[in-house]
Amino acid sequence: MNRARLFVAFLLVVLMSGPALAQRGNDFDSLVAQMNAATQAGRWAEGLAAAQKLETLVRRRQGADNMNYAGVLHNEGMYLHNLGRFPEAVDKLNAALAIKLRNSDVASTLRTSNILVGSLGMLERRAEATAVAERALALGTSAFGANDGSLAGTLSALGGLARDNENFKEAAGYLERALSALQAANAPPLDVASAMDDLGDVYGLLGRFDDGERLLKQGIELLDRSFGKDAETKLNYDKILNDLGNLYLDAGRLAEAEASMRRSLAITRARRGETHPNVAASTGNLATVLEHEARYAEAEKLYQQTLQAYERIYGPNHPTTAIGLNNLANAFSAQGKHEAAAGLQERVLAIYEKSFGADSPDVGRALNNLANSYSDLGRKEQALGLYRRSLAVIERKFGEGSGPTAVAAGSLGQALMDAGQIDEARRLLLRCLEIDERVLGAAHPQLVKDLRAVALLDLKTGNMAEARGRLDRALAIAQDRLGPRHRDSIATMINLADADRREGKWPDALARLRLAAAALNAEKNTQFVRFPEIDPWLIDAIWRVSDGKLDNAAKDEAFGAAQRAHETSAGAALSQMAARFGAGNDAIAGLVRRQQDLKANLETLEKRVTSELGQADGKRNDALIASLRAQTAQTRKSLEDVSAQLDRSFPAYAELSNPRPLSIAQTQGLLKPDEALVAFILRGDKSYALAVTREASALRQIALGSREIVDRVAHLRLGLGNPEAAQSSFDLDASFELYNALFGPISADISGKLKLLVVPAGALTSLPFHVLVTKKPDTASADRFRQAAWLLNERAITVLPSVPSLRALRSFARDSRAQKPFIGFGDPVLRRSPSDKRAGRNVQPYPSYYDGTSVDIERLRTGLPPLPETAGELQAVALALGASPQDDVKLGSAATVTSVSTLPLDQYRVVDFATHGLVAGEVSGLSEPALVLTLPDKPTSDDDGLLTASRIAKLKLDADWAVLSACNTAAGDKPGAEGLSGLARAFFYAGARALLVSHWPVDSDAAVRLTTGAFSELAAHPGIGRAEALRRSMKALIADRSSSRNADPAVWAPFVLVGEGG
């Protein structure tokens, strides 16, 4: 069951029951015509205005106690209901009902009662709604008999109340009676089809997918048979298709769900017009299907359209608008955009609290959704508090044994399990399971999730027999009701593989993991991120089953899994760069770049819209939102036009920009004779290294788990962060031990290979591999750093963000065509006190310059130290490369964001930035890293002194090298995070083939010697490659005895080469 469906409302149009006036006139006829037209088009406000005028006329001519007046009140109530003005609707409908009861018009009483039940239900006044419906049922039964067709509407209303309470069995009972009554009365086809729709929908919610599908299709067939080619124009035809799509969605039949939703939307749009509320709702439902298909960009676009329509129709603070906000937030969560999702969920909660009060069920559900977002952000304590509040609200409103209570109890139970509060977690998870078994039945698909939740707790606490029993039952239900390719079936299979792993049943674990991977591939679903554990576990199982003796097929299988585990945004950026330069001609390359820039601009605009939508009432800027939406629409249209042109001109672009994993044979064909590629895969207890050379390949196990590697890397980094210290505290013994752990198992496999291409993972992304020591060091020696057997003594090292990036670099990315050798930017004007001549590259922790997640420019002015030494650094590099130290080095007031953005940087083979770097890893929640350039006296939106990652990505480069000698421009957010910072990713995207980036602040003199040394070596020996040139430059600095500090790794080791090192 898709419990989130209650947030995707399908807005039904209630047909006018126009008053039969005895005294008619042109004014009456005109108003009735206006009401009918407004109803057909879904323009509720226009209909209400006409009904209010009609009320005045009828009251003046006939008085306020007659059936004509009651009819007008009924229609006003209907419009108010559809406008979401439920309290006013209840008043009008109650007034109409009182007149009808006095006049003993039972049939009319039933019609008004049914709408009143809906309004009371929306106000969560369910007891009153039930009383109204039961009174109507009693009146109708007395007047017409228990099985009369006129009772169908009332029975359907009672079924709807039970459905809203998630009492689906009770709802089915009422709806079965309604359908039987209509069929026995030989009711009109429209009424019978509508009853089939309601009952089929509830059957789907009960997990009776076959019964539900049969009824919904019977409803469509009845309309087709009754109305022929006009069937699609009839009321509810599109809704039946919509509900059939929802049933397919819950059953995991995504292709059929999409087809049904698209047909429903097309009919609704043709019949109602683009501005009708049903079009918005149907668009949102289609987006939900696309989201489940992991087509997030398409889903997000449709959710934005739906939200915009809801705001236009209902206003920004309406409960239906909150539905749109919630759905968009869910899409953001699925893509990992947790901050944006939390902001929208906070807005949803505020709307529901204002609309229904703090104790309403909608508030309870909103609290649960907001707790999910906070949990995703790591705000676990806040999330726990919200989960508890949610359960309390839901329990009070629906009762301790209700379906909604099961959802809330399950959410809190899983949060408590994550928090280690096992006993309370078990009690709540078992309670959730017991309720759903009783309410939904023993084989309902929802039980798959419930059983898995308890089983995961069993696995965590070592109750293996109980875990297996529950997982076996869950898998049987999932495969029977949902099919083997449904994500719940796949997830359960992975959980069973985990149980096999824990008990050492490796052949069983491998078989299950292969089945899960095959199911994902069969659905053409590359979103292995849904199951991030599958690839490391698959590699582990392959190793264990083969006892480390893999055949070629097993090696290729492990190699593919490793590449999926290594997917990074830096690798994607490099692939996009390669796609541009692989286009074959400048015109197509420009088109590719245009498409990529439009995508980036669209993402930026959508982020700004989302940020504004999350603002509270007083801070919300509707004019700005409208402007941003207009820009978004225009950008999206331009993107669609460029993409269509690109498909015609460069059909291979999709493969270049989104490459598939390489086989071992393909990788070997890309490697040079003296190269070895090494990819690391880190796991909880054991890790792995995959080594590939031109001649052979191997998978080897590493004795260290991911946690141990995190600790060891952090220990080594402690001794490297201050290049200005007299001597660092770098631990040579620890370095040797880590080298043995990482490279010892593959030493024979890479023997004789002088160049290493390393694809790091986890904490290894924050370590320059050349600081590893290959032989036992003499730590007692005063000259221990110079005597140490550094890995760079033996091999040149290049870092690759991913394995497929090797093909991007070797097959598609041509050499630079730039004619000029060098341009550099440094020594920015920071307006620090002139008395402080030189304070090093950092005197305060970078987080101190932030106000929350935004940079405080004034703190930068007074806090950042000047960098006068970078002037000489850049001029020396320029001179060494044959550039002009005056014209090609931009210093001080010339080193601005404006100059960087306007200069033709694609004319330079080397682009160098020597300045401060503000990196995401040093500021929690920082949205964008940046390089600090000259801070203008009056910052503007175009130039505030910060060359952010998004601004870098918009640059046009054609550079063989981009040098970032700032601080920490190589590492990810923290040890264990993605391998390259946003700065490095942005430079790849802009068009740099290789990056020289630093893991910590670089000593200025060392920066000059290392960079000029590398460039000089490459100029003197063009065939050696960038990585070897950097290695020689580092060795020369270590060998220089003019200063004992030269051999300290804190001085010579910060730079790493990322990208093309050959």
How does pLDDT run across 174-206, given as a tens digit for each residue?
Answer: 999 999 999 998 999 999 999 999 999 999 999
Number of helices (H), then strands (E), in the chain: 43, 16
| Residue located via tokens 């280690």 | 420
pLDDT band at 1033 (very low <50, low <70, confident <90, very high): very high
CA distances from 425 to 394, 488, 578, 694 (A): 18, 22, 50, 53
- Which of 279-293, 354-368, 611-625 bottoms out in mean pLDDT, i.e. has the lowest? 611-625
Per-residue pLDDT at 52 exceeds 60: yes
Is residue 659 within 8 Å of 574, Cβ to Cβ? Answer: no
Into how many domains does the chain fold? 4
Per-residue model confidence (pLDDT) at position 623: 80
pLDDT band at 836 (very low <50, low <70, confident <90, very high): very low
pLDDT band at 165 (very low <50, low <70, confident <90, very high): confident
Q: Is 381 helix (H, G, I), strand (E, B) or coil?
A: helix
Q: Which residues pair with 822 in a beta bridge?
A: 910
Distance CA 532, CA 538 (A): 11
DSSP conformation letters of 160-184 = HHHHHTT-HHHHHHHHHHHHHHHHH
Is residue 806 within 8 Å of 662, Cβ to Cβ? Answer: yes
| Residue located via tokens 């039904």 | 12
Contacts of 906 (CB under 8 A, 6+ apart): 818, 956, 957, 958, 959, 991
pLDDT band at 255 (very low <50, low <70, confident <90, very high): confident
* CATH number of the domain where residue 972 is located: 3.40.50
Sign of CA dihedral 613, 616, 617, 622: negative
Distance CA 629, CA 608 (A): 10
DSSP conformation letters of 923-975 = STT-S--EEE----SS--SS-SSEEEHHHHHTS---BSEEEE-SSS-SS-SST
Task: Identify whether residues 698 and 764 lie together within a single domain.
Answer: yes
Q: Which of 74, 104, 136 is the last residue of a domain?
A: 136
Task: Identify whether residues 1043 and 976 lie together within a single domain.
Answer: yes
Residues spanned by the domain of 785:
664-804
50 falls within a domain: yes
Task: Identify whether residues 682 and 830 lie together within a single domain.
Answer: no
Is residue 80 within 8 Å of 48, Cβ to Cβ? Answer: yes
Is residue 849 within 8 Å of 929, Cβ to Cβ? Answer: no
Per-residue model confidence (pLDDT) at position 525: 46
How does pLDDT run across 224-250, given as a tens digit for each residue?
Answer: 999 998 899 887 899 999 999 999 998
pLDDT band at 22 (very low <50, low <70, confident <90, very high): very low
103 falls within a domain: yes
Angle formed by the axes of helices 446-461 and 403-418, nearest 10°:
30
CA atoms within 13 A on the CB side of 983: 33
Per-residue pLDDT at 999 exceeds 60: yes
pLDDT band at 1001 (very low <50, low <70, confident <90, very high): confident
Per-residue pLDDT at 616 exceeds 90: no
Task: Identify whether residues 747 and 642 lie together within a single domain.
Answer: no
Of the candidates 872, 787, 759, the residue with the CA atom closest to the CA atom of residue 824? 872
Task: Identify whether residues 683 and 614 lie together within a single domain.
Answer: no
Distance CA 1060, CA 1062 (A): 6
Is residue 147 within 8 Å of 184, Cβ to Cβ? Answer: yes
713 falls within a domain: yes
Task: Identify whether residues 629 and 748 lie together within a single domain.
Answer: no
Task: Identify whether residues 641 and 741 lie together within a single domain.
Answer: no
218 falls within a domain: no
Per-residue pLDDT at 1022 exceeds 70: yes
How, if at all, do strands 908-914 and 820-828 pair? parallel
Per-residue model confidence (pLDDT) at position 526: 42
CA torsion 62→64→67→68, rounded to 10°? 50
Is residue 661 within 8 Å of 564, Cβ to Cβ? Answer: yes
SS3 letters for 548-607? CCCCHHHHHHHHHHHHHHCCCHHHHHHHHHHHHHCCCCHHHHHHHHHHHHHHHHHHHHHH
Distance CA 577, CA 661 (A): 18
DSSP conformation letters of 202-255 = HHHHTT-HHHHHHHHHHHHHHHHHHHGGGGGGSTTHHHHHHHHHHHHHHTT-HH
pLDDT band at 798 (very low <50, low <70, confident <90, very high): very high
Distance CA 215, CA 210 (A): 9
Is residue 829 within 8 Å of 859, Cβ to Cβ? Answer: no
Per-residue model confidence (pLDDT) at position 813: 56
Q: Give the tokens for residue 853.
A: 């997640």
Distance CA 396, CA 399 (A): 6
Angle formed by the axes of helices 464-481 and 446-461, nearest 10°:
160
Task: Identify whether residues 727 and 603 lie together within a single domain.
Answer: no
- Which of 243-247, 263-267, 781-785 bottoms out in mean pLDDT, i.e. has the lowest? 781-785
* CATH number of the domain where residue 758 is located: 3.30.420
992 falls within a domain: yes
Q: Which of 136, 163, 180 is the last residue of a domain?
A: 136
Task: Identify whether residues 629 and 680 lie together within a single domain.
Answer: no
Across all residues in the chain, what is the average pLDDT? 84
984 falls within a domain: yes
Distance CA 193, CA 94 (A): 29
Per-residue model confidence (pLDDT) at position 415: 95
Task: Identify whether residues 963 and 1021 lie together within a single domain.
Answer: yes
Q: Give the tokens for residue 969.
A: 């421009």
Per-residue model confidence (pLDDT) at position 529: 45
- Mean pLDDT across 1029-1033: 96
Of the candidates 845, 824, 830, the residue with the CA atom closest to the CA atom of residue 918? 845
Per-residue model confidence (pLDDT) at position 472: 97
> What share of the chain has pLDDT > 90, as a percent?
49
Task: Identify whether residues 668 and 636 lie together within a single domain.
Answer: no
Q: Which of 622, 649, 676 is the last residue of a domain?
A: 649
Task: Identify whether residues 712 and 742 lie together within a single domain.
Answer: yes
402 falls within a domain: no
730 falls within a domain: yes
Counting every residue written for the chain, the total comes to 1062
How does pLDDT run across 437-482, given as a tens digit for each residue?
Answer: 998 889 888 999 999 999 999 999 999 999 999 999 999 999 988 8
Contacts of 717 (CB under 8 A, 6+ apart): 766, 767, 975, 999, 1000
Per-residue model confidence (pLDDT) at position 41: 75
Of the candidates 841, 847, 843, the residue with the CA atom closest to the CA atom of residue 863? 843
Residue with the bigger pLDDT between 22 and 540: it is 540
Distance CA 477, CA 918 (A): 51
